[in-house]
Amino acid sequence: MHAYHGRPRLPVRARTIVARMTVAKSVTLFAVAALFEIGGAWLVWQGVREHRGRLWVGLGVVALGVYGFVATLQPDANFGRILAAYGGVFVAGSLVWAMVLDGFRPDRWDVIGAAICLAGVAVIMYAPR
């Protein structure tokens, strides 16, 4: 007989539900982080390159700071893993942002590259360990 350590083990169905909720939370946080980082970088770009002024730059800097805090809310505790995976989200999110706000039309290689990046995110973050 072994000593009891920690929480009782959940039934398989409950563990599956918890795992799905954790993945959903993680994916949501990646999307929010992308919104703040890409949006912040876009605001700085608009302020500097498009001469929209310091207010745009300042708002961009604030958004970039918020991105840093959002990243810390990820369920995984490994900074390197989170940042590496987020890189793939950033690539795909940047293309979507450019399509929506700047009228950019990605070619098939952009789309294939973004899909490869998102596959990398899935492997880095959600592969069984």
Distance CA 83, CA 72 (A): 10
pTM for the whole thing?
Answer: 0.82
What local confidence, expressed as pLDDT, does residue 11 receive? 65
Coarse DSSP helix, strand, coil percentages of the chain, rounded to the nearest 5 percent: 75, 0, 25
Query: What 3-state DSSP class applies to 1?
Result: coil
Evaluate if residue 14 carries a pLDDT over 70. Answer: no
Evaluate if residue 8 carries a pLDDT over 90. Answer: no
Evaluate if residue 122 carries a pLDDT over 80. Answer: yes
